[in-house]
Amino acid sequence: MFSISKIAKPNCTTTANLFIIMLFVCFNTALLAQNITKKANWIRPEVVSGQQTWGIHNGIVFSLWPNGVETADQGTGGPRGLIRVGYEYMGKVYLINFIAIEPVVDGKIEFSEISPSNVDGKWGKLLWTGDNETTDSYNPINSRGIISHPDGNKPEIEQLSLYVFTEQFLNGANPYLKLSIRSDRPEEICFEIHNKENSAKMDRCALTATMGNYSRLRLLHLNNETIDSRKLYSGYSGIDFIEKEAYSASTFLKLKDGSPIVFTTSNESFSELSSWPNDSVYYTKRNWKYRPLCKLTQYWRKDNMGYNPSLEVRVNGRAKYWSGGTKDTSQYVNIPGGPAFENFELREKYYPGQKFYYGLTIKTADELLKQ
């Protein structure tokens, strides 16, 4: 029979120890919860209207027409059909490049920035965002982006993701993208490519950084050599693009985790890059003057999970700044310092869910390879 007299009396030392243990558990639980819920310093629309810019402070930023990363909702920020990509430095966001979508069907390529819209017939496909894959209708202010925790072993890491959709191309391609930025990789965007059910079969869907001339990118860093655009395009002085051969994945550098990567940089010092010719012919082209307060390395990479053997890096160049496609040679000016790379991209045979990572960083190529 159970006797009340046999119940042990509370021990003060035991009670105190138990209280301390409970405090310790509560403190650590609160600390863990704080780490899990700690918000990265994201840049997102406050509401689904007005300024449409996404990114992370002290890192990479992007927007879509009719918004610009520098101009917000005060102006278009550049041509339609392009993803504007910028970098926040010392509290200010600077436009650095544009990303174009270039699907290929049966060998025929289209360019999102000059392919006519199905809506108004003007250059540039309409792009819009959504929080999921079913956002079919055009709406330029439809997403703040979704915050998730992509790594179960590191719950403090956050990821901002949203989908970008485009009108169907004339060649039948109908791709859409998932864009993601991780808080532990604040200087790069992951582009994941998919296609709608009604899309024509795509041979390739390249994403190309279209405005290397702005940063006067002249050095392409490979594993056994550095390609200099001034030598590669030596003697060329025309108003059109110039292109040589692409470079296969076997020429790529690799990060410590094995990820293949290709860098491009300016050959100029910051003072040279940020200067502008004091000449009347350059006055109307000051939009090409480099505005950021720092030099940036640009790169494309794949992850270390494997890739199609067709993977290659492709660049083209210009000797004169782009001037809207006109054939009037008086509308063009030489790029200070000589020919520079304009388009910079990875090309790979298309498969649904393929990923490309585009980065902007204040680190040098050597610093990135060592980390």
CA distances (Å), 212 to each of 130, 141, 143, 293, 302, in order? 29, 29, 29, 17, 20
pLDDT tens digit sequence for 221-247 = 999 999 999 999 999 999 999 999 999
User: What integer pLDDT is reported at residue 1 of this predicted model?
Assistant: 38
Q: How far is CA 362 from the centre of its chain?
A: 15
Structure-derived torsion over alpha carbons of residues 149, 153, 157, 160, reported in degrees to the nearest 10: -30
User: What integer pLDDT is reported at residue 2 of this predicted model?
Assistant: 33
3-class secondary-structure state, position 14: helix
User: What integer pLDDT is reported at residue 218 of this predicted model?
Assistant: 99
Confidence band of 345 (pLDDT split at 50, 70, 90): very high
Q: Where are the alpha helices (DSSP H) in the chain?
A: 12-37, 229-232, 270-273, 280-283, 365-370
pLDDT tens digit sequence for 180-222 = 999 999 999 999 999 999 999 999 999 999 999 999 999 999 9
Exposure of 194 by Cβ count < 10 A (0-12 exposed, 13-18 middle, 19+ buried)? middle
Could you tell me what percent of the chain has a pLDDT over 70?
88
Task: List strand residue ranges (DSSP E) for 80-200, in order.
Answer: 82-89, 92-105, 108-109, 127-130, 146-148, 159-166, 175-182, 185-195
Please say whether the dihedral angle defined by the alpha carbons of residues 367, 90, 155 and 164, taken in this order, is positive or negative.
negative
User: What integer pLDDT is reported at residue 219 of this predicted model?
Assistant: 99
State how far the Cα of 314 lies from the Cα of 345, in Å rounded to an integer.
Answer: 5
Asked whether the predicted pLDDT for residue 31 surpasses 90, the reply is: no
Asked whether the predicted pLDDT for residue 18 surpasses 50, the reply is: no
Could you tell me what percent of the chain has a pLDDT over 90?
80
User: What integer pLDDT is reported at residue 60 of this predicted model?
Assistant: 99
User: What integer pLDDT is reported at residue 63 of this predicted model?
Assistant: 95
Whose tokens are 């990118």? That residue is 217
User: What integer pLDDT is reported at residue 138 of this predicted model?
Assistant: 75
State how far the Cα of 190 lies from the Cα of 112, in Å rounded to an integer.
Answer: 19
Asked whether the predicted pLDDT for residue 17 surpasses 60, the reply is: no
Confidence band of 49 (pLDDT split at 50, 70, 90): low
Exposure of 113 by Cβ count < 10 A (0-12 exposed, 13-18 middle, 19+ buried)? buried
pLDDT tens digit sequence for 282-309 = 999 999 999 999 999 999 999 998 899 9
State how far the Cα of 221 lies from the Cα of 262, in Å rounded to an integer.
Answer: 6
Asked whether the predicted pLDDT for residue 97 surpasses 80, the reply is: yes
What's the pTM value of the predicted model, to 2 decimals? 0.88
| Size (the chain), residues | 371
